[in-house]
Amino acid sequence: MTTIIPGLGGERYVPYEERRGNESIVYFTRDLTAGGLRRLYARVNGNIRGKVAIKLHTGEQYGPNIIPHQWVEELVKRDLPEAAIVETNTFYEGDRDTTEKHRETLKVNGWTFCPVDITDAEGTVDLPVKGGKWFDHMTVGKTLTDYDSLVVLTHFKGHTMGGFGGSNKNIGIGCADGKIGKKMIHQREGSDDQWSIAEEELMERISESTKATVDHFGNQITYVNVMRNMSVSCDCEGCLAEQVVTPNVGILASTDILALDQACVDLIYALSDEDGAALRERISTRHGHRQLAYMEELGMGNRRYVLLDTDHADERIQPADAVKGVVPFVEEPIVAERRMKALAALAEAEAKAQQ
């Protein structure tokens, strides 16, 4: 048996038989619709109460791969009518690095059906990081702590620096405020390089940031990952994201953040060599597996799980069963239209800049 040395091995996929510990429950459906999203959320919402925040990546302008806003609108109106979407401004320059630009981008992308709270618009608050080696606290948007419960709704995909973006990345980077918290994660103190931290250390910093938010909400937090339009690029890259080549898979949900992200990675590794190659390469070359190992070391959940097929009476299945019969990715017409609008807007902006 291979020995996994803590702090190393983020480029290596750890097979299920090498994992130890308890098993958490992860629910799965192939139904990539608003109905499928609502059905999976209903399986993991038992502790969601009070004032509810929904953390999702609302995307750069015309981002082609984000979760369809129509799905989220149906979920909110039918299941979470009093909830608000929560976001933070970005560390990089783009469509969301200031609150004013962020608000405009939200309108462009259709996030107009419920309140959207840019939590760092009016300041920040520090949350403790228990047991961290990089941080003793993480700085998040000030109003995040106004909420009683958090629904983490994540578009699972690749990530330029993190390897993959699951629930861990959605919270770890997405709840950290744009100017202090995100800088703590990405930029080494004293460095002029905005992205000077990478590989194992970056994965650990992201996970410690996530732990601060997870610990704050306690058991009043839950997770849903949507495995659709999975570019190797993050939604932060908008229309410049690399074209999707990985087949759509489905939706997964759990109350265990680690089990959920691990299950999604396992499904990518269960795909055929051709179908899964791009995302597997992105995860391993960025040392993305360290996200999972470090979350385990921090006591954030289990890497072992029971995968239940909600399409077939909660039958226990394996990752290979979940991806059996996937078809090659074909971009939906509405997504292609969004991409063309984005490219046109980018070209117009560049033309104005040159005048």
Task: Please state the pTM of the whole predicted model.
Answer: 0.93
- Give yes or no for residue 10 having a pLDDT over 70: yes
- Give yes or no for residue 240 having a pLDDT over 90: no
Predicted local confidence at residue 337, as pLDDT: 76
Residues 107-151 have pLDDT tens digits of 999 999 999 999 999 999 999 999 999 999 999 999 999 999 999
Residues 80-104 have pLDDT tens digits of 999 999 999 999 998 999 999 999 9
Instruction: Please answer whether residues 216 and 145 qualify as being in contact, where contact means their C-beta atoms are separated by less than 8 angstroms.
Output: yes
Does the residue 6 lie in any domain? no
Distances (CA, A) of 131 to 19, 65, 164: 22, 35, 24
The average pLDDT across 243-272 equals: 97
Does the residue 187 lie in any domain? yes
Predicted local confidence at residue 5, as pLDDT: 42
**In this predicted model, which residue has the larger pLDDT, 248 or 355?**
248
Note down the domain range covering 219: 18-354
Q: For residue 303, which amino acid is it? A: R
Residue listed under structure tokens 């289990």: 302
pLDDT-based confidence at residue 253 (cuts at 50, 70, 90): very high
Residue of 13, 75, 4 lying closest to 279 (CA atoms): 13
Residue listed under structure tokens 């039958």: 315
Does the residue 240 lie in any domain? yes
pLDDT-based confidence at residue 283 (cuts at 50, 70, 90): very high
Residues 311-324 have pLDDT tens digits of 999 999 999 999 99
Does the residue 278 lie in any domain? yes
Average pLDDT, the chain: 94
- Give yes or no for residue 274 having a pLDDT over 60: yes
Q: For residue 306, which amino acid is it? A: V
- The residue length of the chain stands at 355
The pair of three-digit structure tokens given for residue 225, joined into one six-digit string:
């990952």
Buried b (16+ CB within 10 A) or exposed e, 37-62: bbbbbebbbeebeeebbbbbbbbbbb
Does the residue 2 lie in any domain? no
Report the domain count for the chain.
Answer: 1
Instruction: Please answer whether residues 172 and 129 qualify as being in contact, where contact means their C-beta atoms are separated by less than 8 angstroms.
Output: no
Cα separation, 250 vs 185, whole angstroms: 30
Residues 23-77 have pLDDT tens digits of 999 999 999 999 999 999 999 999 999 999 999 999 999 888 999 999 999 999 9
Does the residue 289 lie in any domain? yes
Predicted local confidence at residue 8, as pLDDT: 54
Does the residue 244 lie in any domain? yes
Helix (H) or strand (E) holding 144: none
Bridge-based pairing of strands 250-254 and 304-309 is: unpaired
- Give yes or no for residue 346 having a pLDDT over 90: no
pLDDT-based confidence at residue 19 (cuts at 50, 70, 90): very high
- Give yes or no for residue 336 having a pLDDT over 90: no
Does the residue 1 lie in any domain? no
Residues 291-315 have pLDDT tens digits of 999 999 999 999 999 999 999 999 9
Instruction: Please answer whether residues 258 and 239 qualify as being in contact, where contact means their C-beta atoms are separated by less than 8 angstroms.
Output: no
- Give yes or no for residue 175 having a pLDDT over 60: yes
The average pLDDT across 241-268 equals: 96
Q: What percent of the chain has pLDDT over 70?
A: 97
* Strand residue runs (E) in 96-249: 116-118, 124-128, 137-141, 149-155, 157-159, 163-165, 221-227
